[in-house]
C-alpha cells in the first residue's frame, strides 16, 4: 500500500527547491507558529512526540535539548549533514529536493534551544548539494527567516554552511564539533556531553538533517497526527533507502515499522530483485548495524533447506527496537543494501572491513589496529588463503573492540566490529565451504609469500619458525 | 607570539610551492566573523587555498597558519587528516570513484579498472598531460545511482564502462548545470597591469 508522503512531499514537484514553491505548500507556517510559542513549550512538545534522532543512535531529540544548562548564554546548533555511512542517502534526497524544509527545521530547533548561530556541517562530496543549499540559505536570509529580528519577534539566528573535507568520523557528534573548530575530526571523550560543553566550549546541540525536517510537520500537523504514525516506541514517518540490485532502488517514505521483505519486494518500494535473483544478505541499517540473512536457514542436520520449517530474517521490522531481536545493533539509518545470491560473501566482508579500516580516525588503538587486522584477515580469506582459525580470530577481534567493552571513545569501532562479527556468525558455513575448497597448502604458501624470511633465510634460524607456522596452519 | 615558528631548516624553494595571494588571504579573512575563534576557519581556508593553488602547498600552510594564528604544524595536521586535500599538485580534473558496497555490487570495481586502464594511472596519480587525477572514496551517498563517480563537482550516475569514453572525451564533463555559489572558491585574480 502507498503511504502519504510528508517529508518527501515535494520530491518530484517542479522547482521544488525554491522558497516560493515551499511557501506555496504551507512552508514556514510551522516556524511562524513556533516563534509565537515559548522555547520551552517547543521542547516539551518534541519530548511528548518522542522524536527519536534519525542519525543512527535513535536518541530522543527533545531529551537531548533538555540537557542544555538552563542558565546558558550562548548555544550553538550543529546540523549533521555529513552523511557518509554506506548506503545511506536519505539526507541527500531531502536536501536536494526540499532544502527549505531543513532550513525551517533549523529555525524551529534554533528557537527552541535559544541558539544564535547554526552550522550546517555538510560533507564535501555533496558538491551540487552545497550550491543548492547555499542558494536556499541566501533565499531564506532575503525572506527574513534568518538574520536579525526574524518575523518581527526579535529573535536572531545566523545559519552558515560549513563544508567538511572527507572524513566519515566527522559524522560522530563530537568529531563534527572538533572538525568545525578547525582540528582533525577526532571524537572527544564524553562526558562532558556536547549539550554542556560542545563547539567552542559552549553548550551545543547536534541534530541530524532528517530529525530537524520532522519538526515543521510536528508543529503544523500537531501531536495527534504524529503519534498516529509508526509503532509504539518509534513514532513518525521515516525515510528508507533501498539500494543494490533491486528493480527500483531509491528513497521511500513510510511510517516506522516496515519490514525488510516489504521494502525489497513491495511494489511501492524496491519492487523485487533484478533478474529474479534471490537475496543472500541484507544490511538493513547502514553497514555498521549488522547483517540479516536473506537465504533460508537450514535447521536440519543434513543442511537441506525445508521451506515449510526453515526461515529467513527478512521479516525484521525496521523500527528502533525490532532489529535488536535479530542480533543487529539497532535501526541505524534504515538504509538497506541488498546482497544478491551470486555475490561472494568474502568480497562483501572485505568491502565492509576496508571501509572501516580506511575511515577509522586512528585515535584509539584497538580501533586503528583492529579494523586494519580485520581487513587483512578478510583479504586473506578472499584471496583463497584462509584458515578456519581465521574466522575465530575475526570473532575474537570483534569482541574486543568498541565502546561496549569500554575501550574506545566513539562508536565507530562498535560499528566496525558488529557487521564483521555478524557476517562471520551468520555465514560461517559459507566461509568454511570456501576455505575447504581451496588448495590444501594455500595458507602456508601465502605465509611464505608475505614473509619469505621465515622460510628462505637460514640466518634467521628459519627451520623452527617454519615448522611452527606450518603446524599452526595445519591446525 | 608563540604561534610564529622559527625556520630552523631551510627548505628548497621548489618544495615550498606557491604562496597565497593577498586576494586569497582577504577571502579567508571573510570567514572570521562566522566563528568565535580564528582557528575554526581552517577548513574553509584549506578549501580556498586548494582551489587557488591546485593543492595545499607548504607555503600556503604557512600563510594559513599566520592568518589563523596557529602553528604551521597544526595546519598540516588538519590538511593531512582529510582525504579531500592534496599535498602535491593534482590534475585539472579529479575523478572520484565510489567503491562502497552498493557500487561494488553494481559494478563499481570494473568501472574503476576501466578508468585506470583508459587513463593509464593508478589511484592518487595524475595523467602525464596533467588533465586527470584519480582517487576513490568510500561512499558518495548516491547509492540509488550506483556505480557513480564525481568529476570535480559534477556527479555522473549509473556509469557503465561503455559510457566512459564519451564522458572522458566531453570537455564539459565537470560543469554543473545549476547556479553555483562561489563561497568556497578562490577569488578571481585581477589581470595584472603591464
CATH number at residue B109: 3.40.30.10
Residue B1 has pLDDT above 70, yes or no: no
In the DSSP assignment, the letter for residue B194 is: -
Residue B77: closest CA among chain A residues belongs to which residue?
A184
DSSP E strands: which ranges in A258-417?
258-259, 279-283, 292-293, 317-318, 335-340
Pairing of strands A317-318, A258-259: antiparallel
* A144-151 mean pLDDT: 92
Same domain? For A248 and A210 the reply is: no
Same domain? For B77 and B97 the reply is: no
CA distance B102 to chain A (A): 5
pLDDT at A231: 80
In the DSSP assignment, the letter for residue A123 is: -
SS3 A472: helix
Residue B83 sits at the chain A interface (C-beta within 8 Å): yes
pLDDT in tens, A368-407: 999 999 999 999 899 888 888 889 999 999 998 888 888 8
Interface test with B, best of A78, A87, A138, A339 (most B CBs within 10 A): A87
Residue B3 has pLDDT above 60, yes or no: no
DSSP E strands: which ranges in A245-291?
250-255, 258-259, 279-283
pLDDT in tens, A165-178: 989 999 899 999 99
CA distance A412 to chain B (A): 15
Give the separation between CA A227 and CA A218, rounded to whole angstroms: 10
Domain annotation covers residue A3: no
In the DSSP assignment, the letter for residue B26 is: H
Cβ of B138 within 8 Å of Cβ of A134? The answer is: no
Give the separation between CA A95 and CA A136, rounded to whole angstroms: 10
Cβ of B141 within 8 Å of Cβ of A88? The answer is: yes
Q: What's the CATH number where B46 sits?
A: 1.10.10
Class of residue B127 by CB neighbours under 10 A (exposed 0-12, middle 13-18, buried 19+): middle
Residue A443 has pLDDT above 90, yes or no: no
Helix (H) or strand (E) holding A241: strand A237-243
Write down the residue that cell numbers 538504509 correspond to.
Answer: A335
Number of domains, chain A: 4
pLDDT in tens, A134-147: 999 999 999 999 99
Number of domains, chain B: 2
Give the separation between CA A435 and CA A438, rounded to whole angstroms: 6
Domain annotation covers residue B71: yes
ipTM of the complex: 0.90
* A293-320 mean pLDDT: 81
Sheet containing strand A158-163, edge to edge, reads A158-163, A117-122, A76-81, A204-208
pLDDT in tens, A87-135: 899 999 999 999 999 999 999 999 999 999 999 999 999 999 999 999 9
Cell of B11: 627548505
Q: Please check whether residue B111 is in contact with residue B159, taking contact to mean a CB–CB distance below 8 angstroms.
A: yes
Residue A475 has pLDDT above 80, yes or no: no
Interface test with B, best of A177, A243, A285, A347 (most B CBs within 10 A): A243
Residue B119 has pLDDT above 50, yes or no: yes
Same domain? For A312 and A172 the reply is: no
CA distance A116 to chain B (A): 11
Distances in whole angstroms, Cα of residue B134 to Cα of each of A390, B121, B164: 34, 7, 14
* A350-361 mean pLDDT: 93
Cβ of A92 within 8 Å of Cβ of B36? The answer is: no
Q: Mean pLDDT of all residues in chain A?
A: 88
Domain annotation covers residue A10: no
CA distance A199 to chain B (A): 10
Give the separation between CA A51 and CA B49, rounded to whole angstroms: 41
* A302-331 mean pLDDT: 84
Which A residues 269-328 touch B at CB under 8 Å?
A: 283, 287
pTM of the model: 0.90
Confidence band for A84, pLDDT divided at 50, 70 and 90: confident
CA distance B11 to chain A (A): 25
* A263-284 mean pLDDT: 91
pLDDT in tens, B9-63: 566 667 788 899 999 999 999 999 999 999 999 999 999 999 999 999 999 999 9
Q: Which residues pair with B93 in a beta bridge?
A: B132
In terms of residue numbers, what domain contains B100?
A: 93-169
Confidence band for A1, pLDDT divided at 50, 70 and 90: low
In terms of residue numbers, what domain contains A297?
A: 237-341
Domain annotation covers residue A12: no
Residues of A in contact with B83 (CB under 8 A): 165-167
Q: What's the CATH number where A266 sits?
A: 3.10.20.600
Same domain? For A38 and A172 the reply is: yes
Cβ of A87 within 8 Å of Cβ of B101? The answer is: yes
pLDDT at A447: 72
Give the separation between CA A179 and CA A175, rounded to whole angstroms: 6
Residues of B in contact with A84 (CB under 8 A): 138-139, 141
SS3 A216: helix
Amino acid at each position: 500500500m502507498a503511504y502519504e508522503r510528508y517529508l518527501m512531499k515535494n520530491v518530484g514537484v517542479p522547482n521544488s527547491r525554491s522558497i516560493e514553491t515551499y511557501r506555496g505548500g504551507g512552508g514556514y507556517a510551522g516556524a511562524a507558529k513556533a516563534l509565537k510559542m515559548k522555547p520551552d513549550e517547543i521542547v516539551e512538545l518534541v519530548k511528548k512526540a518522542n522524536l527519536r534522532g534519525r542519525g543512527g543512535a535513535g536518541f530522543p531529540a527533545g531529551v537531548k535539548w533538555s540537557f542544555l544548562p538552563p542558565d546558558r548564554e550562548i548555544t550553538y546548533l550543529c546540523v549533521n549533514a555529513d552523511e557518509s555511512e554506506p548506503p545511506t542517502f536519505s539526507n541527500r534526497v531531502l536536501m536536494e529536493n526540499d532544502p527549505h524544509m531543513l532550513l525551517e527545521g533549523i529555525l524551529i530547533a534554533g528557537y527552541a534551544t535559544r541558539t544564535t548561530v547554526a552550522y550546517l556541517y555538510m560533507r564535501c562530496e555533496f558538491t551540487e548539494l552545497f550550491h543548492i543549499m547555499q542558494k536556499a540559505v541566501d533565499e531564506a536570509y532575503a525572506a527574513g527567516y534568518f538574520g536579525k529580528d526574524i518575523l518581527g519577534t526579535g529573535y536572531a539566528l545566523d545559519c552558515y554552511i560549513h563544508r567538511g573535507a572527507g572524513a566519515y568520523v566527522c559524522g560522530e557528534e563530537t568529531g563534527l564539533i572538533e572538525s568545525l573548530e578547525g582540528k582533525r575530526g577526532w571524537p572527544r571523550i564524553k562526558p562532558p556531553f556536547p549539550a554542556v560543553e560542545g563547539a567552542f566550549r559552549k553548550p551545543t546541540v547536534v541534530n541530524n538533517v532528517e530529525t530537524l525536517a520532522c519538526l515543521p510537520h510536528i508543529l503544523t500537523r500537531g501531536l495527534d497526527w504524529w503519534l498516529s504514525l509508526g509503532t509504539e516506541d518509534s513514532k513518525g514517518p521515516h525515510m528508507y533507502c533501498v539500494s543494490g540490485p533491486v528493480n527500483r532502488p531509491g528513497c521511500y517514505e513510510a511510517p516506522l515499522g516496515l519490514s525488510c521483505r516489504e521494502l525489497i519486494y513491495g511494489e511501492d518500494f524496491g519492487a523485487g530483485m533484478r533478474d529474479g535473483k534471490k537475496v543472500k544478505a541484507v544490511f538493513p541499517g547502514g553497514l555498521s548495524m549488522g547483517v540479516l540473512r536473506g537465504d533460508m536457514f537450514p535447521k536440519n542436520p543434513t543442511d537441506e533447506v525445508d521451506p515449510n520449517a526453515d526461515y529467513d530474517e527478512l521479516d525484521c521490522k525496521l523500527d528502533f527496537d525490532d532489529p535488536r531481536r535479530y542480533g543487529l545493533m539497532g535501526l541505524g539509518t534504515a538504509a538497506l543494501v541488498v546482497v544478491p545470491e551470486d555475490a561472494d560473501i568474502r568480497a562483501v566482508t572485505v568491502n565492509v572491513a576496508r571501509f572501516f579500516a580506511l575511515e577509522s580516525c586512528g585515535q584509539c588503538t584497538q580501533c586503528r589496529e583492529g579494523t586494519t587486522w580485520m581487513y587483512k584477515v578478510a583479504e586473506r580469506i578472499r584471496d583463497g588463503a584462509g584458515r578456519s582459525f581465521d574466522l575465530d580470530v575475526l570473532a575474537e577481534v570483534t569482541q574486543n573492540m568498541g565502546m561496549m567493552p569500554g575501550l574506545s571513545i566513539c562508536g565507530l569501532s562498535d560499528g566496525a566490529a558488529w557487521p564483521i562479527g555478524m557476517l562471520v556468525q551468520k555465514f560461517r558455513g559459507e566461509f568454511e565451504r570456501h576455505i575447504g575448497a581451496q588448495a590444501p597448502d594455500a595458507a602456508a604458501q601465502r605465509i611464505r609469500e608475505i614473509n619469505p624470511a621465515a622460510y628462505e633465510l637460514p640466518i634467521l634460524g628459519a627451520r623452527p619458525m617454519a615448522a611452527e607456522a606450518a603446524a599452526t596452519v595445519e591446525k | 607570539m608563540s604561534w610564529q615558528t622559527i625556520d630552523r631548516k631551510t627548505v628548497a624553494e621548489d618544495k615550498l610551492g606557491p604562496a597565497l595571494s593577498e586576494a586569497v588571504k582577504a577571502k579567508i579573512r571573510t570567514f572570521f566573523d562566522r566563528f568565535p575563534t580564528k582557528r575554526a576557519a581552517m577548513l574553509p581556508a584549506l578549501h580556498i587555498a586548494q582551489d587557488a593553488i591546485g593543492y595545499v602547498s607548504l607555503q600556503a600552510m604557512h600563510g594559513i597558519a599566520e592568518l589563523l594564528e596557529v602553528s604551521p604544524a597544526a595546519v598540516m595536521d588538519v590538511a593531512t587528516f582529510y582525504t579531500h586535500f592534496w599535498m602535491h599538485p593534482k590534475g585539472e580534473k579529479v575523478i572520484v570513484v565510489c567503491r562502497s558496497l552498493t557500487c561494488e555490487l553494481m559494478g563499481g570495481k570494473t568501472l574503476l579498472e576501466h578508468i585506470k586502464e583508459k587513463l593509464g594511472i593508478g589511484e592518487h596519480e595524475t595523467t602525464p598531460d596533467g588533465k586527470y587525477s584519480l582517487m576513490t572514496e568510500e561512499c558518495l551517498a548516491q547509492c540509488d545511482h550506483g556505480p557513480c563517480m564525481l568529476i570535480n563537482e559534477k556527479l555522473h550516475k549509473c556509469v557503465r564502462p561503455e559510457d566512459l569514453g564519451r564522458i572522458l572525451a566531453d570537455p564539459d564533463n565537470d560543469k554543473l548545470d545549476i547556479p553555483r555559489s562561489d563561497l568556497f572558491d578562490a577569488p578571481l585574480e585581477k589581470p595584472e597591469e603591464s
